[in-house]
Chain A
Amino acid sequence: MSATLSEATQASFVRHPIRLTLNGQMRELQVLPWTTLLDLLREQLDLVGSKKGCDHGQCGACTVLRDGKRINACLTLAVMCDGAQLTTVEGLAEGDQLHPMQQAFIKHDAFQCGYCTPGQICSAVGLANEGRARTPGQISEWMSGNLCRCGAYNNIRDAIEEALPLCQPELEQGGEQ
């Protein structure tokens, strides 16, 4: 393989050191430039809660929180997360105490197969951190980046509506709001 690669390409096979806080734990890692955050989580760190649905930012199953804001891990390079504070679905509960959003999803039966659920829950926590959604219509509009092929949308919306007031915003920096 390497015989056919240009010098520039061969030179690119360099792992870059990154430091990040992952679910509250400081991690020092070495990553190849083209490794996505989603592949880092699933393939190297065994955090398989975040799902690879479309791998193109269209389904939201890979949604995680970076500095409190929801992003698509499939369209994020791991190397560009140096210094970030990341939360995946595995980091939401406090020990055995589920996050209010997780509790509400169970109470409202807000899933069927469960594949999209980690992304839905992380996205909903991101929605809570944004602190803007007030109405069921706004919840639907601002959850539109998370698809559910089973069609559990009504229960997902109900769960989020109930949990929103129970979620403490966890934005890392204030921004301009």
Chain B
Amino acid sequence: MNPFQYSKPDTVQAAIDLSSPVSRFIAGGTNLLDLMKENLTRPEHLIDITGLPLADLSETPAGGVMIGALVSNADLAWHPWIERRYPLLSQAILAGASPQLRNMASTGGNLLQRTRCYYFYDASVPCNKREPGSGCPARDGLNRIHAIFGASEQCVATHPSDMCVALAALEAVVHVLGRGGARTIEFADFHRLPGDAPQRDNQLADDELITGIELPAAGFAEHSHYLKIRDRASYAFALVSVAVALELDGPVIRQARLALGGVAHKPWRDRAVESGLTGQTVSRETFTAAADALLQNAEPLAHNGFKVKLARRAIVRALSDAALGSAPSGGQA
């Protein structure tokens, strides 16, 4: 790890005032310190934000829940409001990382974690995300874990978060504060596709700090499901994950949300497929048709064609399980 200055401000405004192009905010540190140990990022100044008053959950006037950016992943997953009203979010969080990491990692930091592309993580090889213009060894290299949607010539990395896949399906809103003041960002717009600037994972400016994540009132608690497929039974990143949230009227779908993880540079949604499910009757045929429609736009690479078949089956299973009714969160039986 490189040497750096350390500050611990007491107020959000002080934290923003301290920020500069060579500083980074640190909360849980579970990803940032790992990146620093690999020499993938070398901030000159760490601003410890764990003293800021952003560690609570509160109810919003709109009937939703505001999650402070510093609420730990574990506290969020086990919070009674989240377990009861947003079980999809609890399930997704508990599907990610380990208990130790979930105790440390913050909600805001989860959104900002970097890809686990093994070329990005190897400082000895080129990577457009690390060093713009240096090249992408993944596109024609070992790309088994890489994107099948939304990739560019410059970058085929995927976003690693499970939590964010659920937040995308729930249409959360990200609250940020910077030198220019406060603003909100719809979750679907928060993360970027790589395009010509893969070094930018999201829309956040250098001086902006995530202060909270707002959940809308609709939690789809009756019919939601998070399904994660990975190389081992626990504690691994998703090859494919699916977050489903359904509103049903008997067997008829009133509203459907479907977000995929492990397949793109951001949680992947296809609004046409979602709206196509509206008014349909719950059945295996309906779900298979939706999965086929979504995956007809997939662009697999040399080694990740299996993700198309895997995603198709995962979508059908997740939709079926959500339609049957939400299972309680909290580990294996």
Which residues on B sit within 8 Å (CB–CB) of A143?
A: 99
CB of B29 closer than 8 Å to a CB of A: yes
- Our pick among B29, B45, B48, B97 for the contact of A8 (Cβ within 8 Å) is B45
The reply to whether B1 and A130 contact each other, CB–CB distance below 8 Å, is no
Q: Within 8 Å CB of A75, what residues of B?
A: 29-30, 33-34, 101, 104
Q: Give the residues in chain B near A94, CB-CB below 8 Å.
A: none
The range of chain A's interface size is 35 or more
CB within 8 Å of A: which of B9-51? 22, 26, 29-30, 33-34, 37, 44-46, 48, 50
A15 to chain B, nearest CB (A): 10
Is there contact, CB below 8 Å, between B4 and A145?
no
- Is B234 touching A144 in the complex (CB atoms < 8 A)? yes
Contact assessment for A69 and B103 in the assembled complex, using a CB-CB cutoff below 8 Å: yes
In the complex formed, the residue of A with least CB distance to B332 is A137
CA distance A142 to B94 in the complex (A): 9
Closest Cβ of chain B to A98, distance in Å, is 23
Q: Of all chain A residues, which has the CB nearest B33?
A: A75
- Name the segment of A22-30, A76-84, A99-107, A108-116 touching the other chain: A76-84
Taken together as a complex, chains A and B put the C-alpha atoms of A123 and B330 apart, in Å, by: 18
Contact of B98 among A60, A133, A135, A177 (CB under 8 A): A60
Decide if A4 is an interface residue (CB 8 Å cutoff). Answer: no
Query: Contacts A71-B103, A77-B33, A145-B101; is A137 near B44 (CB within 8 Å)?
Result: no
Given A80-B48, A130-B99, A137-B333, A12 and B3 contact (CB-CB distance below 8 Å): yes
B197-222 to A contact mask, C-beta < 8 Å, 1/0:
00000000000000000000000000
Name the contact of A71 in the complex, choosing from B75, B100, B333 (C-beta under 8 A). B100
A157 to B331, CA, bound (A): 15
Bitwise, A137-152 to B at CB < 8 A (1) or not (0) is: 1101111111000000
Q: Is B80 an interface residue (CB 8 A)?
A: yes
0/1 per residue, A1-34, Cβ < 8 Å to B?
Answer: 0000110110111101000000000000000111
Name A145's contact: one of B29, B48, B99 (CB within 8 Å): B99
Query: In residues 57-73 of chain A, which contact B (Cβ within 8 Å)?
Result: 57, 60, 63, 66, 69-72
Closest Cβ–Cβ distance, residue A132 to chain B (whole Å): 7
Task: Tell me the minimal C-beta distance from B35 to chain A in angstroms.
Answer: 10
Is there contact, CB below 8 Å, between B6 and A16?
yes
Nearest-CB residue, chain B, relative to A122: B100
Cα A50 to Cα B311 in complex, Å, equals 40
- For residue B124, CB closer than 8 A to chain A, the reply is no
Does chain A have a CB within 8 A of B78? yes
Q: Which of A13, A141, A146 contacts B331 (CB 8 A)?
A: A141
On chain B, the residues within 8 Å of A76 by CB distance are: 29, 33, 104
Q: Lowest 6 A-B CB distances belong to which pairs?
A: A145-B98, A33-B6, A144-B234, A137-B332, A144-B235, A138-B331
* A residues at B contact (CB < 8 Å): 5-6, 8-9, 11-14, 16, 32-34, 36, 55-57, 60, 63, 66, 69-72, 75-77, 79-80, 123, 126-127, 130, 132-133, 135, 137-138, 140-146, 175-177
**A-contacting residues of B (Cβ < 8 Å)?**
1-6, 22, 26, 29-30, 33-34, 37, 44-46, 48, 50, 57, 74-75, 78-80, 97-101, 103-104, 233-235, 330-333
- 20 A-B residue pairs with CB within 8 Å: A5-B3, A9-B4, A12-B5, A12-B6, A56-B34, A56-B37, A69-B103, A70-B100, A72-B104, A76-B33, A77-B26, A126-B100, A130-B99, A133-B331, A137-B333, A140-B332, A144-B235, A145-B97, A145-B100, A176-B78
